[in-house]
Amino acid sequence: MFTGIIEEVGFIESCQGGHIKVRCGTVMSDMTLGASIAVNGVCLTAVDLRPDGFSADLAQETLDKTNLGDLRAGDPVNLERPLQLQTRLSGHIVQGHVDGTGVLEARDEQGITVRAPRELDRFLVYKGSICLDGISLTIASVSDGLVRVAIIPHTWEATNLRARKPGDRINIECDVLAKHVDKLLSRMQTSQA
Protein backbone atom coordinates (compact mmCIF):
# COMPACT_ATOMS: atom_id res chain seq x y z
CA MET A 1 0.00 0.00 0.00
CA PHE A 2 1.19 3.52 -0.84
CA THR A 3 0.14 7.10 -0.09
CA GLY A 4 0.80 8.83 -3.40
CA ILE A 5 3.45 11.09 -1.87
CA ILE A 6 6.36 10.81 -4.31
CA GLU A 7 9.76 10.28 -2.69
CA GLU A 8 12.00 10.60 -5.71
CA VAL A 9 12.00 11.04 -9.46
CA GLY A 10 14.09 8.27 -10.97
CA PHE A 11 15.08 7.74 -14.59
CA ILE A 12 14.53 4.81 -16.94
CA GLU A 13 17.72 3.09 -18.03
CA SER A 14 15.86 0.62 -20.22
CA CYS A 15 12.38 -0.75 -20.75
CA GLN A 16 12.05 -3.70 -23.09
CA GLY A 17 10.77 -7.24 -23.25
CA GLY A 18 8.71 -7.03 -20.08
CA HIS A 19 11.64 -5.76 -18.04
CA ILE A 20 12.28 -2.27 -16.68
CA LYS A 21 15.52 -0.89 -15.27
CA VAL A 22 15.38 2.27 -13.13
CA ARG A 23 18.23 4.56 -11.98
CA CYS A 24 17.57 6.17 -8.57
CA GLY A 25 19.11 6.74 -5.16
CA THR A 26 16.83 7.74 -2.28
CA VAL A 27 14.47 4.76 -2.46
CA MET A 28 17.43 2.36 -2.50
CA SER A 29 18.39 3.22 1.10
CA ASP A 30 16.31 0.38 2.57
CA MET A 31 15.28 -1.54 -0.55
CA THR A 32 15.33 -5.31 -0.26
CA LEU A 33 15.05 -7.97 -2.93
CA GLY A 34 11.38 -8.61 -3.66
CA ALA A 35 10.16 -5.37 -2.06
CA SER A 36 7.23 -3.47 -3.54
CA ILE A 37 7.97 -0.15 -5.24
CA ALA A 38 5.52 2.17 -7.01
CA VAL A 39 6.79 3.33 -10.41
CA ASN A 40 4.45 5.98 -11.87
CA GLY A 41 1.88 4.59 -9.45
CA VAL A 42 2.26 0.96 -10.55
CA CYS A 43 3.15 -1.51 -7.81
CA LEU A 44 6.15 -3.53 -9.00
CA THR A 45 8.52 -6.02 -7.35
CA ALA A 46 12.13 -4.85 -7.14
CA VAL A 47 14.76 -7.30 -8.37
CA ASP A 48 18.39 -6.94 -9.46
CA LEU A 49 19.20 -4.38 -6.78
CA ARG A 50 22.18 -2.09 -7.36
CA PRO A 51 23.42 0.88 -5.32
CA ASP A 52 22.12 3.21 -8.05
CA GLY A 53 18.85 1.47 -8.93
CA PHE A 54 16.78 -1.64 -9.45
CA SER A 55 14.97 -3.67 -12.09
CA ALA A 56 11.46 -5.10 -12.21
CA ASP A 57 9.56 -7.50 -14.43
CA LEU A 58 6.37 -6.30 -16.12
CA ALA A 59 3.44 -8.67 -16.53
CA GLN A 60 1.40 -8.43 -19.73
CA GLU A 61 -1.52 -7.06 -17.65
CA THR A 62 0.76 -4.24 -16.47
CA LEU A 63 1.83 -3.44 -20.02
CA ASP A 64 -1.81 -3.49 -21.18
CA LYS A 65 -3.26 -1.31 -18.39
CA THR A 66 -0.49 1.24 -17.72
CA ASN A 67 1.90 3.60 -19.47
CA LEU A 68 5.03 1.70 -18.41
CA GLY A 69 5.44 0.11 -21.83
CA ASP A 70 5.63 3.60 -23.36
CA LEU A 71 8.74 4.52 -21.35
CA ARG A 72 12.11 5.00 -22.99
CA ALA A 73 15.66 5.44 -21.67
CA GLY A 74 16.02 8.78 -19.91
CA ASP A 75 12.30 9.23 -19.12
CA PRO A 76 11.60 10.45 -15.56
CA VAL A 77 9.38 8.28 -13.34
CA ASN A 78 7.76 8.90 -9.96
CA LEU A 79 8.97 6.53 -7.23
CA GLU A 80 7.48 5.69 -3.85
CA ARG A 81 8.29 2.96 -1.35
CA PRO A 82 5.39 1.20 0.38
CA LEU A 83 3.70 2.70 3.40
CA GLN A 84 5.09 1.85 6.82
CA LEU A 85 2.39 1.53 9.45
CA GLN A 86 4.21 3.77 11.93
CA THR A 87 4.23 6.77 9.56
CA ARG A 88 1.61 9.41 8.81
CA LEU A 89 -0.75 8.86 5.89
CA SER A 90 -0.12 12.15 4.07
CA GLY A 91 -1.81 11.36 0.75
CA HIS A 92 -4.63 8.86 0.41
CA ILE A 93 -4.81 5.06 0.25
CA VAL A 94 -3.07 4.05 -2.97
CA GLN A 95 -2.76 0.40 -3.90
CA GLY A 96 -0.56 0.69 -6.97
CA HIS A 97 -3.24 -1.17 -8.97
CA VAL A 98 -3.79 1.11 -11.95
CA ASP A 99 -7.37 1.19 -13.27
CA GLY A 100 -6.42 2.49 -16.71
CA THR A 101 -4.72 5.32 -18.53
CA GLY A 102 -5.93 8.75 -19.50
CA VAL A 103 -4.50 11.30 -21.89
CA LEU A 104 -2.89 14.52 -20.71
CA GLU A 105 -4.90 17.29 -22.37
CA ALA A 106 -3.30 20.37 -20.79
CA ARG A 107 -0.73 21.28 -18.14
CA ASP A 108 0.71 24.29 -16.43
CA GLU A 109 2.26 24.98 -13.03
CA GLN A 110 -1.19 25.37 -11.46
CA GLY A 111 -2.65 22.08 -12.64
CA ILE A 112 -3.22 19.43 -15.25
CA THR A 113 -6.25 18.23 -17.18
CA VAL A 114 -6.54 14.55 -18.09
CA ARG A 115 -9.15 12.88 -20.30
CA ALA A 116 -10.17 9.80 -18.31
CA PRO A 117 -11.68 6.62 -19.79
CA ARG A 118 -15.48 6.60 -19.69
CA GLU A 119 -15.59 3.48 -17.50
CA LEU A 120 -13.76 5.32 -14.69
CA ASP A 121 -16.11 8.30 -14.63
CA ARG A 122 -18.36 6.89 -11.89
CA PHE A 123 -15.40 6.89 -9.46
CA LEU A 124 -14.37 10.51 -10.09
CA VAL A 125 -15.95 13.24 -7.95
CA TYR A 126 -15.24 16.88 -7.22
CA LYS A 127 -12.83 17.14 -4.26
CA GLY A 128 -12.32 13.36 -4.36
CA SER A 129 -8.94 11.63 -4.42
CA ILE A 130 -7.24 10.41 -7.56
CA CYS A 131 -3.79 9.02 -8.23
CA LEU A 132 -2.12 10.16 -11.48
CA ASP A 133 1.21 8.50 -12.30
CA GLY A 134 1.43 7.59 -8.62
CA ILE A 135 0.79 11.13 -7.31
CA SER A 136 -1.97 11.58 -4.72
CA LEU A 137 -4.08 14.49 -5.97
CA THR A 138 -7.45 16.11 -5.33
CA ILE A 139 -9.94 16.54 -8.17
CA ALA A 140 -10.59 20.26 -8.73
CA SER A 141 -13.20 19.67 -11.42
CA VAL A 142 -14.63 16.82 -13.45
CA SER A 143 -16.88 17.20 -16.49
CA ASP A 144 -17.44 15.25 -19.71
CA GLY A 145 -14.51 12.92 -19.03
CA LEU A 146 -12.07 15.75 -18.30
CA VAL A 147 -10.48 15.67 -14.85
CA ARG A 148 -8.65 18.77 -13.64
CA VAL A 149 -6.36 18.61 -10.61
CA ALA A 150 -4.60 21.54 -8.97
CA ILE A 151 -0.84 21.27 -8.59
CA ILE A 152 1.05 22.98 -5.77
CA PRO A 153 4.64 24.16 -6.44
CA HIS A 154 6.17 21.37 -4.32
CA THR A 155 4.38 18.68 -6.36
CA TRP A 156 5.39 20.37 -9.62
CA GLU A 157 9.05 20.33 -8.54
CA ALA A 158 9.13 16.92 -6.82
CA THR A 159 7.45 14.80 -9.52
CA ASN A 160 7.74 14.07 -13.23
CA LEU A 161 4.83 16.39 -14.15
CA ARG A 162 7.21 19.06 -15.50
CA ALA A 163 8.35 16.62 -18.17
CA ARG A 164 4.87 15.47 -19.24
CA LYS A 165 3.38 16.85 -22.46
CA PRO A 166 -0.14 16.99 -23.90
CA GLY A 167 -0.87 13.64 -25.55
CA ASP A 168 1.11 11.60 -22.98
CA ARG A 169 -0.66 8.65 -21.39
CA ILE A 170 -1.12 9.04 -17.63
CA ASN A 171 -1.72 6.14 -15.22
CA ILE A 172 -4.98 6.54 -13.29
CA GLU A 173 -5.85 4.81 -10.02
CA CYS A 174 -9.27 5.76 -8.70
CA ASP A 175 -9.93 5.99 -4.98
CA VAL A 176 -10.45 2.46 -3.62
CA LEU A 177 -13.19 3.73 -1.30
CA ALA A 178 -15.15 5.06 -4.30
CA LYS A 179 -14.84 1.65 -5.98
CA HIS A 180 -16.15 -0.16 -2.88
CA VAL A 181 -19.08 2.25 -2.47
CA ASP A 182 -19.95 1.80 -6.16
CA LYS A 183 -19.97 -1.98 -5.77
CA LEU A 184 -22.08 -1.87 -2.61
CA LEU A 185 -24.62 0.48 -4.20
CA SER A 186 -24.89 -1.66 -7.33
CA ARG A 187 -25.53 -4.74 -5.18
CA MET A 188 -28.21 -2.86 -3.25
CA GLN A 189 -29.90 -1.78 -6.50
CA THR A 190 -29.76 -5.36 -7.85
CA SER A 191 -31.33 -6.81 -4.68
CA GLN A 192 -34.14 -4.21 -4.76
CA ALA A 193 -35.05 -4.95 -8.37
Residues with active-site annotation: 2, 36, 43, 45, 59, 97, 138
> What is d(CA 162, CA 29) in angstroms, rounded to the nearest whole number?
26
Q: How far is CA 61 from CA 36, 50, 70, in A?
A: 17, 26, 14
b (16+ CB within 10 A) / e for 9-18: bbbbbebeee
- Residue 94 contacts residue 174 (beta carbons within 8 Å): no
Q: How far is 97 from 21, CA to CA, in rounded Å? A: 20
Q: Where does 5-152 have alpha helices with state H?
A: 60-65
173 strand-pairing partners: 131
